[in-house]
Structures are given as structure tokens and as C-alpha cells.
Amino acid sequence: MRPDEALKILAVFEGKLTRLKEERDNLAKAKEALELAEPGTCRVTVKFIVFIFLRIFFLQSKLVCVQ
């Protein structure tokens, strides 16, 4: 796979992950508002999403250097 193709795939994945994070954040806020969850109980998920974002940025930076 060419680096430019890989960058496009990573960009699409990053967009999907961003939307997923926004949906998760909205769901957490709704649960807190409805008192279905304690504030800040979904921190593990947030840490995992941040980890994935960091991996995406790392891969993108490596691919940009290859081009």
C-alpha cells in the first residue's frame, strides 16, 4: 500500500473515531443528567480513545516522513 493511500485510510478512521468520541461524550452527559451514572465514571473509555488518537497521529507522522 502506498503511503498516500494509508494516510487517506487513517484520516477516515480518525474521522469515525472523532464522531464516536463525540457520541460517547454526549451519552455520558445524558446519563449524568438523568442520574443514571455517577459523574466521571467512563474515564477508562476516554483514556482508550486518547490512546488510539495518539497511535493514529504517530502512524500519520511516520507516513508523512516516508512520502
**Alpha carbons 3 and 25: distance in angstroms, whole number:** 32
Query: pLDDT value at position 3?
Result: 86
Distance CA 34, CA 20 (A): 21
- Rounded to whole angstroms, the Cα distance separating 39 from 12 reads 31
Range of weakest confidence among 1-5, 7-11, 39-43, 59-63: 39-43
* CA atoms of 16 and 9, how far apart (whole Å): 11
Which tens digits make up the pLDDT trace of 7-39? 999 999 999 999 988 998 888 888 888 887 666
> How many Å separate Cα 46 from the centre of its chain?
9
Task: Give the position of cell 507522522.
Answer: 61
pLDDT, position 64 = 79
* Number of structural domains in the chain: 1
- Name the range with the highest mean pLDDT among 33-37, 57-61, 62-66: 57-61
Range of the domain at 36: 3-66
